[in-house]
Structure 1
Amino acid sequence: MSEGFGLVVRFTLRDEKAAAEFDELCSRTLEGIKADEPGTLAYVTHTPEGEPLVRVFYELYTDRAAFDAHEEQPHTKHFLAEREQYLAGVEVTFLDAIAGKVAVQQ
């Protein structure tokens, strides 16, 4: 499975207030992703059970170029500039697909 480029990002937030504000920032950012990024196949935020101050993002793009285009969008640049004030830590894992099923874009 050579197509697709993905990553998982784990954000640890400073406190409950920071978590609420971070979630609002994510919501606004997602509006731009949904409207302007045809190469973004999945962009999903999760809260792990029992970890209320953690957010895990799963991102899947058609290819590396689609990820690079995502990074250049104004809504993404805004998110990257604003997120630091809410964070206690961040871990990024880039993923190479070796097998799986991906929904077909129409």
Structure 2
Amino acid sequence: MASGFALTVRFTLRDAAAAQQFDELVARTSAGIRMEPGTLVYAVHTPIEEPLVRVFYELYADQDAFQDHEEQPHTRHFLATREQFLTSTEVTFLKELADVSKRPGMEG
């Protein structure tokens, strides 16, 4: 049985100054996100060889928890403010696979 609602978001930033401002915005926003009961994981990474890229991995208890996250004042502020720092945004919604260890040929 699948659990949770997940997505990744890949942001490409304009330049180093925009990256610094974006990271500050993320830090301020993350404080509120950590208080959301339905947000299970909210991780932000920078690919090693792409200093102007940020990759978010987000996992919510369910789609309702994601919707609740989207409606929070801190999230709305982030969504309204982020565009000035970006050149592109790519969102990928993820579907959890059934327990891989129970698939034929995957034992071991």
Shorter-chain TM-score above 0.5: yes
Structure-1 residue corresponding to 2:106: none
Structure-1 residue corresponding to 2:27: 27
- 2:53 is aligned with 1:59: no
4+ runs deviating over 6 angstroms = none
- TM-score after normalising by structure 1: 0.91
Q: 1:63 to 1:84 in 2, by over 3 A?
A: same
Q: Give the C-alpha shift of residue 99 in structure 1.
A: 3.8
- TM-score after normalising by structure 2: 0.89
Q: Residues 7-86 of structure 1: matches in 2 within 5 Å?
A: 7-35=7-35, 37-86=36-85
Percent of matched pairs sharing the same residue: 66
Query: In structure 1, what is the Cα distance between the partners aligned to 2:75 and 2:98?
Result: 28
Residue segments in structure 1 that go unaligned for 5+ positions in a row: 101-106
Residue segments in structure 2 that go unaligned for 5+ positions in a row: 100-108
Query: In structure 1, what is the Cα distance between the partners aligned to 2:98 and 2:39?
Result: 19
| Alignment RMSD (CA, Å) | 0.9
Q: Aligned pairs, how many?
A: 99
Rg: which structure is higher? Answer: 2
